[in-house]
Amino acid sequence: MKRQLLLLLVGLMAVCTQAQQFQQEFGNPRKPFAQVVATPNHADSHYAVGQTALLRIVAQEGGVPLNGTKVYYKVGPEMFLPSGRDSVTFADGEALIPMGTMTEPGFLACQYEFKTADGKTQKDLVKLAFSPEQIQTFTPMPKDFEQFWQKALKAARKIDLEPEYFDVPDATNDKMTTKLVRLHVGKDKWIYGYLTMPTSAGSVMLPNSTYSNQTSSLSEGLGEAFPVVLCPPGAGSTKPYPSDYFPREGCIYLKIEIHDNDPRIPDDEYNAMRQKKCDGYMRRGMESKDTYYYKDVYVGCARAVDFLCSLPEWDGRNVIVTGGSQGGALTIVTAALNEKVTFCAPFYPALCDLTGFLHHRAGGWPKFFTSFYKDGQVDIPQQQAVETLQYFDVVNFARLLKVPTFMSWGYNDDTCSPTSVWAAWNVITAPKQKDITPSSGHWRFPTSQEKCLEWMKAGL
């Protein structure tokens, strides 16, 4: 037995030695074998209606330009690509795809792919804007829109928030304290959130930034008082987790979920619960504006701001709301509903221009009135759904914004279409600043977050 164990040990050592020799002999590649860059003939990806767009793809394999490799592609209005494909061939490392033009404001998309010599498929989605400043929403504002939401918020404010606090030792240290909090934000509505608070104002410094050489915290000069930041969640029902990003900048930070799902539950139980409890929530109760699931969610986010502003550590002035996707939508909604909000910073907001697909144009997530995936399927009469959604379309909340707004989005997003985001952006009359990174999809570059932070800092 001992002899067998010895032989096994020797064998393992030999394998490890060989592995080390191979690593030393061949090294690790520091660049991908295939390097691909797709560039439109307008560098900013913007065209006027009627202008012709051309997409130039440059590709190398190990530093050698591609020759003779076919590129297969589809071109069409975003989210309405044709079923058939065309092709072009690389010559001296370049392939040119004629994307054509548009006759109305919107986005033209190109989906392309090709295989490299190592057998791997290279593919991407590129969207180009045509007169996006002229994109208009298809969603009208109901005459009683403001009255409906003022009444809903007034009713919710009659209900005591009844905050319950639970310790979170793993997210608490000498610089910040974190509690899990449960709030009663409506008659039958509760939400959970992680509340993280710095221990002292001005003690945490901004990291070095491309956009500023200063090292002041967002709360510097405010004594022991702090700005507050609410972060609504993206779509779905995944567990929230604490974050120290804004607390490190000297802010009280509340990161919430919207389904009253206790994140302390073990993962397997949590996943079973949320699947049963939250599946298809974005379609639930759509028969009426009074029963639609998002009614309590929208008002609940506004009440979360009320909670933050009830904390004695709040500075009494600065209230920031920021989030991405569904969280970006809820950011706009919250800023429009709650008069205490002073900064609105959505990223690629969802729920914008929800009836766009009925007009053969890309709408916002959840892509209602399409068959793309089950969340977009509407199982009630179409006109009934349209009447309800007018009260929940983020475009109509964007019309009401009165506070400074920073919005960031990309063009290669196939979840929250840039057409729908532009439809919301174009109706905002409040002071606004946009950050567009055409090559990003349903995500953001770190520089966009840094720009947003600098914008917040300048306005405090």
First to last CA, the chain: 73
Q: Do the Cβ atoms of 412 and 125 come closer than 8 Å?
A: yes
Helix (H, G, I), strand (E, B) or coil at 76: strand
* Cβ pair 58, 93 in contact under 8 A: yes
Instruction: Give every CB contact of residue 206 below 8 A, 6+ residues apart in sequence.
Output: 212, 214, 215, 216, 217, 218, 249, 453, 457
DSSP for 80-99, written as a single string? ---SS-EEEE-BTTEEEEEE
Residue 301 tokens read as 């986010």
Dist CA 198 CA 319 (whole Å):
16
Pair 223, 266: CB distance under 8 Å: no
Do the beta carbons of residue 303 and residue 186 sit within 8 Å?
Answer: yes
> Token pair of 138, please?
């298809």
Closest CA to 448 of 227, 209, 281, 182: 209
276 touches 236 (CB < 8 A): no
Contact 366, 344 (CB under 8 A): no
312, with CB counted inside 10 A (0-12, 13-18, 19+), is exposed
Of 171, 145, 428, 168, residue with least CA distance to 298: 145
Q: Which amino acid is at 105?
A: P
Question: What are the catalytic residues?
Answer: 325, 413, 442
DSSP state of 209: B
Give the start-end residues of each E strand in 257-376: 314-324, 343-347
Q: How far is CA 385 from the centre of its chain?
A: 25
